[in-house]
Structure 1
Amino acid sequence: MPDGRKTVIILRCIGVLLLAMTAVAALPVGALSASPQPSFFNTKEVQSDDLKAFTKWLGALERFTQARKNNTPVKCYPGPGQMQICGNAEWIEFLKSVKGLNKLDQLRQVNERMNKATYVQDKNNWGQNDYWATPQEFMARFGDCEDYAIMKYLSLRMLGWDDNDLRVVAVKDLNLKVGHAILVVYMTAKSGERIPLVLDNQIGSVVKASSIRHYQPVFSINQKFWWRHLG
């Protein structure tokens, strides 16, 4: 891995962790009374449907909805890069090209394609320490860890994946001592077991959550719920 890439990894996504701590502190007392349930990365989780603390997440979803409704044009700068997707039409064409694949291959294609986007820190991109971008904004200007996760999350939603099977997850990278964000996707095995898989902009392939030891989840979220993770 090039030294420049390593530097970017070390500096990445600190704002994600700050948001995570704020959100955990805002967990409703009622939700805390629920019994923690087993979760990925050897944690337990407590579920809440109170998303008010997650203003950046809700804002990104709202802007995404409006951009789709208005068919807002996307001006890519400095260009589509290796991801080679610029604008809603090209995004939809890519999704159509993988629609007929089995679910695991859909995950692989989405993960591989979106990981080709150029990594850009929020401070350089938006002048903010932490900005959660829509797919349209990501196609136009790329982004950092949570933006890859959001792009993958909404791509899968557009492909018809159930929201209950998808979560954007804020984690602590225990090796690098920084915040990071990934997408966790649940797939159901023939046995009926729900297996969490990880789509990560730092990992080239889709892997089982059980194969990763250096992530400690703080919270996970989708459009309906969020979960506090307990070590």
Structure 2
Amino acid sequence: MLTGVGASASVWDLSHLMQRVGELYQPDHRGRVRLAQWQTLMEEHASVDVGQQLDAVNRFFNDRLRFEQDSTIWDQTDYWASPVQSLIAGAADCEDFTIAKYFTLRQLGIDEAQLRLTYVKATERNQAHMVLAYYATPTSAPLILDNLIDPILTASQRDDLVPVYSFNASGLWLGSARFDSRAATTTPLPRWQELTRKMSDEGFFGPLSP
């Protein structure tokens, strides 16, 4: 499991994060503005209900990041960017959108067990895609946060998506046509481990503000 990501609604110390970000990436003005807006988003939504948090986070990243392939942004075939990297670049692919939403909602206090990064087949586009699924209860139909559309719909309303598998910091689940799932493994994905190490270097799991 990940360490340093608590269940409280506290947000991390932006000055600590920005110091590390400056050392690692030297972001331009627009990147710093997006990072500051991200901090404001979390401060303003720390105490609102979950529905408002989901909607605000989904729209925040959909509005501020343009969709690009990894080959265009990072000159790599498949790269998992941290939320900081995506905000600095101002661009993301579907995996990076989902990663950014996941960690932002975790930081806002949503329990890890309620969030899964979910690989799907987007049937209308006939391509692999990733979305974030939110489960209000373990047996409830999830809500789907998607960079392709702003409205957050239930899985039953997204018949254009066929789940393949899902994961979070606790493990991986095999998917089914109804977004139900069964545990497959608790072994972290190598790319997930690389991502969390990178985020730790960025200061993401550093000091939290009161």
TM-score (normalised: structure 2): 0.68
For residue 171 of structure 1, give the secondary structure of its aligned residue in structure 2.
strand
Partner of 1:148: 97
- The alignment's C-alpha RMSD in Å is 2.7
- Name the aligned partner's letter for residue 145 of structure 1: C
Tell me how far apart the structure 2 counterparts of residues 229 and 171 of structure 1 sit (CA, whole Å): 9
For residues 68-110 of structure 1, give each alpha carbon's deviation from its aligned partner in whole angstroms, at most 9, with x where no partner exists: 5973236445835xxx9533x5422220111121110110001
AA aligned to 1:162 is D
Over 3 Å counting, the alpha-carbon distance change for 1:68 and 1:79 in structure 2 is closer
What are the residue-to-residue correspondences of 1:161-180 with 2, within 5 Å?
161-180=110-129
Number of aligned positions between the proteins:
161
Larger-gyration structure (1/2): 1
The percentage of aligned residue pairs carrying the same residue is 31
What is the CA deviation profile of residues 166-194 of structure 1, one whole-angstrom value per residue up to 9, with x for unaligned ones?
00111111122111110001124xxx952
Task: Tell me if 1:205 matches 2:156.
Answer: no
Q: In structure 2, how many angstroms separate the alpha carbons of the residues matched to 1:69 and 1:217? A: 36
Moved over 3 A (4+): 67-71, 74-78
Structure 1 runs not aligned, ≥5 long: 1-48, 50-57, 62-66
8 Å contact from structure 2 (residues 21, 27) kept in 1:
no
Counterparts of residues 102-117 of structure 1 (less than 5 Å): 102-116=49-63, 117=65
Q: Matched residues in 2 for 1:218 and 1:78: separation?
A: 39
Give TM-score scaled by structure 1 length. Answer: 0.63
Amino acid at match of 2:43: K
Q: Which of 128, 131, 137 is equivalent to 2:85?
A: 137
Matched residues in 2 for 1:180 and 1:230: separation? Answer: 15
**Structure 2: where are the runs of 5+ without partners?**
6-15, 178-210
1:223 aligned residue (154, 163, 169): 169
Q: Output one character per residue of 1:190-227: Cα deviation in whole Å (capped at 9) or x when no partner.
A: xx952310000011111111101111111101001111
